[in-house]
Amino acid sequence: MTDSEKPAANLAVDSNRLWQTIQQTAAIGATPKGGLCRLTLSEEDRQVRDWFRTACEAAGCSVRIDALGNMFARREGRDPTLPPIAIGSHLDTQPTGGRYDGIIGVLAGLEVLRTLGDSSFQTNAPIEVINWTNEEGARFAPAMLASGTFAGVFTPDYAYSRQDRDGVSFATALDAIGYRGPEPIGGHKLSAHFELHIEQGPILEAESRTIGVVTGVQSIRWYEATVTGLDGHAGATPMRLRRNALLGVARMIEAVNDVAMAHAPDAVGTVGLIESKPNSRNVVPGEVFFTIDLRHPDDSVVAEMDAEVRAALAIIAESDDLDLALEQTWESPAVHFDEGCIQAVRNAAVACGFSSRDLVSGAGHDSAYIARVAPTSMIFVPCAGGLSHNEAESAEQSDVAAGANVLLRAVLETDQKLVGG
């Protein structure tokens, strides 16, 4: 063991400082039910970005921002020619989100930087903590928009053109909060990328495991559908003569559910957004917009679900005399993470004495795109009841600290390997 490795084995994050940081930032965008609403590029997003920048600079790091608002907090290493090892996640939330989804990944990264600074430990490669823009996709679809552009999946112009449901473009919102940075998008090499996240599922809690070693991310497809019938007076339009778009969509939602159930237990299908027009209590709905989310670990199964959903929706539209416009808006194929990074997480869990198991992520993450351009893996910690995308989302301080310590060790092991250690 070299002199540089000996102190690394004794490094550990400050659990209380990390927890206090999580609770402190939870005041930005806090909701009455104890959750968060920090939609991408909102005023609340600007506030938490400003806080993050100040905290990273106070920890001795430089902060750079690219043209999509991605934030890179950098602590220099011994060898500036080595691409940085990145710790990345996101600070934006769902409209009724929790305090931990994505957030612990960024703040644990900050805690890693603080821990290294406290001990004056210098890594070989620079360490960067990244706040990726628009991971959630709640305001601007698709999800993981900025990390996807960083990885070359989307063009910057495509990202800038995305609009929220009020017609505000991504570019306009980015400029409104002052976070269109000077650094070009992409072309920023990384030696590796690690992401700490709550599981967003019940497996770790059910099995009393502390660490999930994430080996990949399942396949995802998103769709937008518009069903058009005919507005009519609720009192004067006979039932047999109605072209009720909302009734047709209710049947379509059930069909999406049936397709997912047919491919259970690994498949899921969700309709999460519905807009009915004219949305009046005494008018038969003439138009409905809704979204569909299909997922499975196997790309071929998602393709089968796609065909089955399309067929079922077409039959319903025809039988109810409705017009259907269905568009696939996003596809994220199944991802398999880097074996070296996966093993670094496994080794770190063992070294820290935490129970662990391998998992495939059911949710999409920025790491799914970054895996295309850098060796990548993720670390999961339990969340209560597997509940996420919910204001009641909850995690234990001890589990978050455990994940942060595994993150720290995985980063340090990877750093040693960069110089043949």
Per-residue pLDDT tens digits for 263-310: 999 999 999 999 999 999 999 999 999 999 999 999 999 999 999 999
**Taking the model in full, what pTM does it have?**
0.86
220-332 has CATH 3.40.50.620 classification: no
Q: What is the mean pLDDT of residues 24-52?
A: 98
Would you place residue 206 in the very low, low, confident or very high pLDDT band (cuts 50, 70, 90)? very high
Domain ranges of the chain: 5-218+334-418, 220-332
β-pair type (127-131, 85-89): parallel
Average pLDDT of 342-359? 98
The CATH label, of 3.40.630.10, 3.40.50.2020, 3.30.365.10, 3.40.50.1370, for the domain at 5-218+334-418 is: 3.40.630.10
All residues at 6 or more sequence positions from 341 whose CB lies less than 8 Å from its CB, including other chains? 192, 193, 194, 375, 376, 377, 410, 414
What's residue 2's pLDDT?
47
pLDDT of the residue at 187: 82
Quick one: average pLDDT of 133-159?
Answer: 96
Q: Percent of the chain beyond pLDDT 90?
A: 95
What does DSSP assign to residue 97? B
Of 8 and 29, the one with more pLDDT: 29
Give one word for 114, left, alpha or beta, with left for phi > 0 and alpha for psi -120 to 50: alpha
Same fold, 5-218+334-418 and 220-332: no
Residue that the structure tokens 């595994």 belong to: 406
Give the number of C-alpha atoms closer than 13 A to the C-alpha of residue 144, restricted to the C-beta side: 23
236 three-class SS = coil
